[in-house]
Structure 1
Amino acid sequence: MKMKENSLFDSLLEEPQKPSGPVTCLGMTFENDEARRAHFTEELRKKMQDPEFRKIEGFPIGSDEDILNLSDPPYYTACPNPWIADFIADWEAQKPEQPDGYHYHREPFAADVSEGKQDPVCMAHTYHTKVPYRAIVRYILNYTSPGDVVLDCFAGTGMTGVAAQACSEPPSDLKRAIEDYWRETGREQPSWGTRHAIMVDLSPFATFLQRNFNSSLSSRTFQKCAERLLNETEKNLGWMYETDIPGGKSKGSFEYGLWSDVVFCECGEEVLLWNPALDEGSQGFNAEMKCPKCGREIKKTASGRAHTTYWDDELKTSIKQNRQDLVLIQARVGNKTFSKHPSKFDRELMSRINSLKPTSFSPSAPMMFNGERWGDMFRAGIHFGITHVHHFWTKRNLIALSELFAAAQKSSYPHEMAFLCTSFAVKTGSRMHNVGFKGGKINLAGQTYNTLQFPSVSAERNIFVLAKGKVKDISNVFELKKQPGRTISSTQSGTNLQHIPSGSVDYIFIDPPFGDNIIYSELSFLYEAWLKVFTKQDYEAIISGKQSKGLNEYKDLMTRSFGELFRVLKPGRWITIAFHNSKNAVWNVIQESLGIAGFVIADVRILDKGQGTYKQMTTAGAVKQDLVISAYRPNGGLEDRFELEAGTEDGVWDFIRTHLGQLPVFVSKDSQVEVIAERQNYLLFDRMVAFHVQRGVAVPLSASDFYSGLDQRFSLRDGMYFLPDQAAMYDKKRMTVKEVLQLQLFVIDESSAIQWLKQQLIRKPQSFQDLHPLFLKETAGWSKSEVPLELLTLLEQNFLRYDGKGPVPEQIHAYLSTNWKELRNLPKDDPTLVTKARDRWYVPDPNKAGDLEKLREKALLKEFEEYKEVKKKLKVFRLEAVRAGFKKAWQERDYAVIVAVADKIPNNVLEEDPKLLMWYDQAVTRMGGE
């Protein structure tokens, strides 16, 4: 049973070739597509001889020939794409002319989007993370017009590119849903039409997927080529997946086999973790194993593992690994399936296969170029003896995959056929295939999501069965209508986008890595080993022990990337960032990095509503669901004016007017108005302060002066501030809903306690006795590092109490006269009204809150002075005092004080507080520049 080395490729040469015809690309006309590729491949080859080109950050690891073979220039390059600027110029020239007086303006897309990842296109090929393209379509339509250029520098599988093209002709159900939403919100219908996409990623595997998810190949042609490739390969290698039929003379087809770890009992007896003696209805793991020899109970975690030693042809040495035995085979004869235990025929067949060597390329690189300790995902027990890439497959599947990849390379559509191969090679074709149970039956679950884990019981699948099953899935990718030249891909780091001209991009959508959630380069390594081009880890924006990258290194890489995105985005345009991480420190890094780059955050939404509130998403340790951040690059006019007005009140109000103009005006759901957090006074103050600080400018207004100025200059509605024309629009739409849905607040420290009290008192002025039980209930989650404060202290320093002297304050009077009929129309000094109002706490009028703020700030700064003198670490302290002290020190340019006190507080507190982090980072930057 020798493998035929030539017949397969000879037959593939008979495959019908692509139709010939003239092809135009970047102003040049070629005889056909092959001529186009040949021309640009040679141009890329010349470019790669330039040492400076290879110094571009994130240039992948691989030989020139392997990079060129993987590329499809100029649309897709497995290295930095040198034609990006040419494409942008070409696209700009094709844009439809805008009418006279056209002014670009978009509100943030302020709707919660619910689009699952079960869409057939998303499911066609596995990847570590994906934002469904159907969700991205909504954002692109909101922020762009047909012909605009969309950029994604953390593009992953290229869903942004798919979405950009789908804006021209989306699936009918998606189009109806989008049109219904725009109609319900009173907006003009979306401008359907293709947008162009530039996709960048550090991973060659990711950009390879981008190229194929955005391929313009027809579904029919893909299926025809794939079926021919698989049929011809199976003719050559199908014998490896034969099995005998119990009691019969004919052969069946091996569909899958189960391999079980072998452990030792204390008496030395070998025991399988999978019990092959159980019948099919109860088949499964031995949860409570007993030794068949001595009867002792065996615990999996405490038992020793059996090992096996074999000769590794690739490494030319003997290696030792954990032993797994084949315990069950599922086979098929015609339309019938049956289970069996491995027979003499099966054992002899495996022995014969194990003696063979792949005749085509199969990867054998050391894992992560290291071998023994190959990354953050290394687990010594599970990965014992797994040092090289080829160890992740059984010999049978390794040989089949090597022939399939080689056949794909020889086919008329090598990229699409390799795309088919990678779709099952690792997730279901490797030894990482996990086995579970569903409804009492075996569930072939596939690779455990985002791990490189060898399960104790694994499934070996028939590669050809897997491949044929994926042909139909992947056909969905090619059913979406796409045009060549509308999307381009580049393999490089987002920290240096030198081929993209400044101010040339209309919109940015990114779903970047977040902290240590996923080690992308490790999860991609097996795929890239087949593609022969690897990720340059130096520029991978993650937190990783093995890569010596902590939160600061992650922040530096993200800040540099956001800086590049700010540079290439047109002034006044938008960036959307998908965020999913459970650590508030990472959330703060993203916000801080955006601000340092120059962006201003305008809105935060949940990707799937009903799973959490905005406050839950931004509370330390409580980021549970995906968020979508909308931010903008301030237009040139604001930046120019701010240079002249910096540090003045005029500069403050110019920024606020511009910022309010960028915020959503009205958001409702289920007949309730949603409070737009960014329009509340304290968040407007925070954005204003950050805008000044991150530009090295003194903040000219105190909080009370700022709040007073807001009331004087802007319209207040339901606790939110609007421009005059926005207020009119809000009032009109407010009449169509029943009530206002307040933001849910969680009290964890002094700042959140003040906001919670304000929310309670502005709605209902009340006494200390009324508030106290509610307050105690809310403070159960108070931060351990924060000094616990008494309710009375918080009230006295931030609110006012009516002591019964003088007229009843307007806020209390309005509440009482609204809720008690007998108190209506009474003068504010009426004894009955005064008695009812006495001892109620209320929110001070912004115009009269200045003295209160000064007294509070004085008390806070007094505490900060004590922190400056403390010689040891501060375990418990008043966070508001540190914030006040940092602000004062920054205004006085006493950066050393900020750094010194920051060194005394726990790192996690500094990292998880966006205000402290901003002051600290700016102080470090200023000290470094002096």
Structure 2
Amino acid sequence: MAKENRIFPDALLEETGERKEGQENRRFKLTRDHLDRVRHIEGFPIAQDEDIINLSDPPYYTACPNPFIEDFVKEHGRPYDPDHDSYHREPFAADVSEGKNDPIYNAHSYHTKVPHRAIMRYILHYTEPGDIVFDGFCGTGMTGVAARLCGDRKAVASLGYRVLDDGTILDEKGRPFSKLGARKAILVDLSPAATFIAYNYNTPVDVRAFEREARRILDEVEKECGWMYKTRHVVDGKVQKDINGNPIMGKINYTVWSDVFICPHCSAELVFWEVAVDKEEGKVRDDFPCPHCGADLTKRTLERAWEKVFDRDIGQTITRARQVPVLINYSVGNKRYEKEPDEYDLELIRKIDESEIPYWYPTDRLPEGYNTEQPKVSHGITHVHHFYTRRNLWVLASVWTRFRRATESFMWISGQHRDLTKLVGVDIKKLFKGGGGPFSGGVKGTLYIPSILVEKPVYVSLSNRLRTLLRAARKHFSENVIAISTHSMTQIDFRDCSVDYIFTDPPFGGNLMYSELNFLWEAWLKVFTNNGPEAVENKVQGKGPREYQELMEKCFAEYYRVLKPGRWMTVVFHNSQNRIWNAIQEAIMRAGFVIADVRTLDKKQGTFKQVTSTTAVKQDLVISAYKPNGGLEKRFHLSAGTEEGVWDFVRTHLKQLPVFVEKDGRAEVIAERQNYLLYDRMVAFHIQRGVAVPMGAAEFYAGLKQRFPERDGMYFLPDQVVEYDKKRFMVQEIEQLSLFVTDEKSSIQWLRGELEKKPQTYQEIQPKFLRELHKARHEKLPELSELLEQNFLRDEAGRWYVPDPNKQSDLEKIREKALLKEFEEYREGRGRLKVLRTEALRAGFKACWAAKDFKTIVDVARRIPDSVLQEDSSLLMYYDNALMRLDE
């Protein structure tokens, strides 16, 4: 490797030379002194120092906080210079549809994973070649893969872009938008398993040498352990013999195992496979008779059969669920056969179970947790080695011992790891009716042990995985400019304003317990996640919604600190719970970011649609947020709480929003340019900075109309509206946004949209309103007639219409007076508020904030249902900020 292409400077590294066939393999010394320098950083993993040192490949990757990252930033970063910074991007608003059948994506599974091809589109849009891209929840390192492939002409062209000879990249419509060139990446994750996978994904591979070595080891292991997967060939109950009179032996393709239960009526043992599986229909029956006493049974009514065995690995007698082999699929020559296990098979399993395994394997006890309780309770699985049949554990340990030092081996072995455990179930329909492999893959995101599971020979599974990995390695796995670190995102140990773009896919509430799900992988690595700062909701860890949000706020505060002003962050969000969305939104804004665009991923169509209601999250979201440049923050500090500060923010925010979005020949309404969302963003900007909001909604809407040109219900800067008009002229129609009507605020927004089309009578609008209304159970919603009277005017013909801004302001004052009167009842009352008017709470909180009466906000908030508080972004924002100021 040429000196000028090195990732780290010579002065930083203490080098020892080692050679691999066909490539240079540099390893640098990671010492205990290095570990002592970073041991204080949150999320330092749980492991012996020697195991961390052995796993690491410094300075590129360390299985602990990387002590060389600051040097990486100094070597490759471009210092932020506010006086000469001309960076500007609109939020990425195009559709992104990338499948998951790419060889790179499939080289290694993970609990959640964004395809690298999708990430490439964002990186190309927001960055220039050589920029530093950061992902603090990196998982398998797809952000790093994407950053490197931005310099691969073929990979970029495969996205549908055209690359000119000078490296200029043109979008699908032939417009230049980026330049060809690799970006540098910093990847961080709390999980040692995740960062090690990420390291493997972003490390060069000598494909031929790896394939040669892998196949040699598979052949060696099969010669040593192949006897464990042999079975006698049986036809019509008779053992088939060769011409010498010896039994013909077949190679096992897989063995099906079944739970054993006890009939609660007659106490007879029942093999679940025998009593519940309907082989003719290819399904598991919901109810079935006991073959001994004839009682009607369901799985829920059965009692599990347990057995006591001595576990020599931990020196204890354990109680485990009884499981027995029920079906063997095997091959003789090129033909496949099936049989019930016979005396030979049962004796073989007994012999293996009673034998000592001559290789190291992990025997760690499972930690206390949510996912780890599933196998403990259901099957008595308390330690890592219990997740494997004895023979699969033996063979896996044999492979691991032979290949554990090779970089690529972990990708190979751990990528297939789940299929080698008891987590893989059987697809009964496919098993008996055909139509693909009969393996279900188990319940993703859990450690659930199915009642009917499959055991696949280790070397057969690894041979199949090898083909997938080699396809990915030939396509990628080349040199990358990258630094990978293992610790919590709550504490990043490098300088402020040093990264150019952030792409992140963080954990969301209680969706997945990464530290628990990764425990099996990490047991083999001997380095474990320190889950103290893990950002999840987990009762065992003592973390609820509040703790989760506080951790996420710390993480996004660090993102804000290291990102350069004026730059962008993309957050991928997958959780259907409104309160989690509000917690994430609050954490992003509390950090100082301003949300500029939110789109939902339509998984069926592969397209994104804008979110107009943040209380109706049903699909994955992509959130675009920016860090305001220093100029806005300085000016706001001088003009905070004034009308001038409001309009300075609006002008700056409008500059960051997309001007025109076209899809399928239609213009799309840009939700963030509508008056009510501009108002919400303005209010949030003030509240998060501890400043009183100087005007109400009606006054704000009137000011918008006076200061900014309006088109199709959206507001623009003067130079932007010229561009919008030109592009709007080229399309025939505009795609309107759908609106979820759930409360008073969304009801008024919907009514405004309807009445802006044309004035309507009560009789005309009422049936349409009722069709759209989906009122929340806790909401005390005024009648439609009251909503109309408080927010709109009526002409002589009895038709309701939207008033001009001046009259709207008068109406708002009358309505606000009524809302504050109702809030006063909440303030003076006692006990829980089960049914309430959310708009009265919003108005009251706003008034208390202006009066710096933070205690009332906190007191009233604690009396409303926690679900209401967590699911309303406005109430949550006031409460969190009031609570913070009470604690100061």
TM-score by length of 1: 0.89
Aligned CA distance change for structure 1 residues 611 and 891 (closer, same or farther; 3 Å): farther
- Verify the 8 A CA contact 1:114 1:608 in the aligned structure 2: no
Q: What's the offset of the Cα at 1:375?
A: 3.3
Which residue does the alignment assign to 1:623?
617
Q: What's the offset of the Cα at 1:268?
A: 2.6
Q: What's the offset of the Cα at 1:237?
A: 1.5
Q: Secondary structure at the match of 1:925?
A: helix
Which residue does the alignment assign to 2:564?
570
Q: What's the offset of the Cα at 1:275?
A: 2.6
Aligned CA distance change for structure 1 residues 460 and 483 (closer, same or farther; 3 Å): closer
Which residue does the alignment assign to 1:231?
219
Q: Does 290-299 or 765-774 show the bigger shift?
A: 290-299
Q: Does 102-111 or 882-891 show the bigger shift?
A: 102-111
Does residue 148 of structure 1 match 2:139? no
Which residue does the alignment assign to 1:59?
44
Which residue does the alignment assign to 1:104?
87
- Verify the 8 A CA contact 1:21 1:32 in the aligned structure 2: no
Which residue does the alignment assign to 1:902?
861
Aligned CA distance change for structure 1 residues 478 and 390 (closer, same or farther; 3 Å): same
Question: 1:443 and 1:20 mapped to 2: Cα distance?
Answer: 50
Unaligned residue ranges in structure 2 (runs of 5+):
164-168, 235-239, 242-246
Counterpart of 2:33 in structure 1: which amino acid?
K
Which residue does the alignment assign to 1:402?
397
Q: What's the offset of the Cα at 1:802?
A: 1.4
Which residue does the alignment assign to 1:522?
516
Which residue does the alignment assign to 2:194?
206
Counterpart of 2:121 in structure 1: which amino acid?
R
Does residue 542 of structure 1 match 2:541? no
Does residue 26 of structure 1 match 2:2? no
Which residue does the alignment assign to 2:502?
508
Residues 732-784 of structure 1: per-residue CA shift (max 9 Å, x gap): 111121111111112110000000001101112111111111122222x1111
- Verify the 8 A CA contact 2:277 2:285 in the aligned structure 1: no
Q: What's the offset of the Cα at 1:199?
A: 0.5
Question: 1:469 and 1:560 mapped to 2: Cα distance?
Answer: 43
Which residue does the alignment assign to 2:100?
117
Does residue 447 of structure 1 match 2:434? no
Does residue 870 of structure 1 match 2:840? no
Which residue does the alignment assign to 1:786?
779
Question: 1:167 and 1:485 mapped to 2: Cα distance?
Answer: 11
- Verify the 8 A CA contact 2:573 2:620 in the aligned structure 1: yes
Does residue 801 of structure 1 match 2:800? no
- Verify the 8 A CA contact 2:276 2:287 in the aligned structure 1: no
Residues 570-625 of structure 1: per-residue CA shift (max 9 Å, x gap): 010000000010111110111111111100000011233658986778453x4221
Which residue does the alignment assign to 1:632?
626
Q: Secondary structure at the match of 2:518?
A: helix
Q: Does 586-595 or 112-121 show the bigger shift?
A: 112-121
Does residue 859 of structure 1 match 2:818? yes
Which residue does the alignment assign to 2:237?
none
Which residue does the alignment assign to 1:318?
317
Residues 433-491 of structure 1: per-residue CA shift (max 9 Å, x gap): 11113451371122321110111111011111100000011123312345435122100
- Verify the 8 A CA contact 1:179 1:189 in the aligned structure 2: no
Q: What's the offset of the Cα at 1:84?
A: 0.8
Which residue does the alignment assign to 1:436?
427
- Verify the 8 A CA contact 1:141 1:167 in the aligned structure 2: yes
Q: Secondary structure at the match of 1:379?
A: helix
Q: What's the offset of the Cα at 1:717?
A: 0.6
The equivalent position to 2:256 in structure 1, one of 254, 258, 268, is 258
Aligned CA distance change for structure 1 residues 431 and 279 (closer, same or farther; 3 Å): same
Which residue does the alignment assign to 2:770?
776
Aligned CA distance change for structure 1 residues 870 and 21 (closer, same or farther; 3 Å): closer
Counterpart of 1:408 in structure 2: which amino acid?
F
Which residue does the alignment assign to 2:465?
470
Q: Does 306-315 or 440-449 show the bigger shift?
A: 440-449
Residues 192-219 of structure 1: per-residue CA shift (max 9 Å, x gap): 1100111000000000110111121143
Which residue does the alignment assign to 1:80?
65
- Verify the 8 A CA contact 1:714 1:723 in the aligned structure 2: yes
Aligned CA distance change for structure 1 residues 788 and 27 (closer, same or farther; 3 Å): closer
1:257-336 mapped onto 2 (5 Å cutoff): 257-265=255-263, 266-275=265-274, 285=284, 287-336=286-335
Which residue does the alignment assign to 1:345?
344
Aligned CA distance change for structure 1 residues 102 and 501 (closer, same or farther; 3 Å): closer
Which residue does the alignment assign to 2:799?
840
Q: Does 139-148 or 698-707 show the bigger shift?
A: 698-707
Question: 1:20 and 1:674 mapped to 2: Cα distance?
Answer: 50
Aligned CA distance change for structure 1 residues 378 and 242 (closer, same or farther; 3 Å): same
Q: What's the offset of the Cα at 1:887?
A: 0.4
Counterpart of 2:860 in structure 1: which amino acid?
V
Q: What's the offset of the Cα at 1:535?
A: 0.5
- Verify the 8 A CA contact 2:702 2:806 in the aligned structure 1: yes
Does residue 47 of structure 1 match 2:34? yes
Q: Secondary structure at the match of 1:539?
A: coil
Q: Does 210-219 or 73-82 show the bigger shift?
A: 210-219
Which residue does the alignment assign to 2:166?
none
- Verify the 8 A CA contact 1:23 1:31 in the aligned structure 2: no
1:621-700 mapped onto 2 (5 Å cutoff): 622-700=616-694
Counterpart of 2:427 in structure 1: which amino acid?
G
Question: 1:704 and 1:276 mapped to 2: Cα distance?
Answer: 69
Q: What's the offset of the Cα at 1:285?
A: 3.9
Q: What's the offset of the Cα at 1:21?
A: 11
- Verify the 8 A CA contact 2:582 2:871 in the aligned structure 1: yes
- Verify the 8 A CA contact 1:148 1:195 in the aligned structure 2: yes
Q: What's the offset of the Cα at 1:116?
A: 2.4
Q: What's the offset of the Cα at 1:92?
A: 3.1
Q: Secondary structure at the match of 2:454?
A: strand
Aligned CA distance change for structure 1 residues 40 and 125 (closer, same or farther; 3 Å): closer
Aligned CA distance change for structure 1 residues 682 and 280 (closer, same or farther; 3 Å): closer
Aligned CA distance change for structure 1 residues 154 and 796 (closer, same or farther; 3 Å): same
- Verify the 8 A CA contact 2:611 2:671 in the aligned structure 1: no
- Verify the 8 A CA contact 1:201 1:207 in the aligned structure 2: yes
Counterpart of 1:262 in structure 2: which amino acid?
V
1:555-594 mapped onto 2 (5 Å cutoff): 555-594=549-588
TM-score by length of 2: 0.93
- Verify the 8 A CA contact 2:708 2:715 in the aligned structure 1: yes
Identity of aligned residues (%): 49
Question: 1:535 and 1:176 mapped to 2: Cα distance?
Answer: 36
Question: 1:603 and 1:684 mapped to 2: Cα distance?
Answer: 12
Question: 1:127 and 1:589 mapped to 2: Cα distance?
Answer: 24
Aligned CA distance change for structure 1 residues 663 and 278 (closer, same or farther; 3 Å): closer
Residues 632-657 of structure 1: per-residue CA shift (max 9 Å, x gap): 00011111111111122111111111
Question: 2:680 and 2:561 mapped to 1: Cα distance?
Answer: 24
Q: Secondary structure at the match of 1:383?
A: helix
Question: 2:818 and 2:853 mapped to 1: Cα distance?
Answer: 20
Q: Does 838-847 or 531-540 show the bigger shift?
A: 838-847
Q: Secondary structure at the match of 1:329?
A: strand
Q: What's the offset of the Cα at 1:325?
A: 0.9
Counterpart of 2:474 in structure 1: which amino acid?
E
Question: 1:844 and 1:221 mapped to 2: Cα distance?
Answer: 76
Q: What's the offset of the Cα at 1:409?
A: 2.2
Aligned CA distance change for structure 1 residues 768 and 363 (closer, same or farther; 3 Å): same
Aligned CA distance change for structure 1 residues 193 and 483 (closer, same or farther; 3 Å): same
Which residue does the alignment assign to 1:415?
407
The equivalent position to 2:232 in structure 1, one of 244, 254, 268, is 244
Counterpart of 2:776 in structure 1: which amino acid?
S
Counterpart of 2:408 in structure 1: which amino acid?
E
Residues 383-414 of structure 1: per-residue CA shift (max 9 Å, x gap): 3321111110000001111111111125xxx1
Does residue 386 of structure 1 match 2:377? no
Q: What's the offset of the Cα at 1:306?
A: 1.7
Aligned CA distance change for structure 1 residues 33 and 506 (closer, same or farther; 3 Å): farther
The equivalent position to 2:483 in structure 1, one of 483, 488, 511, is 488
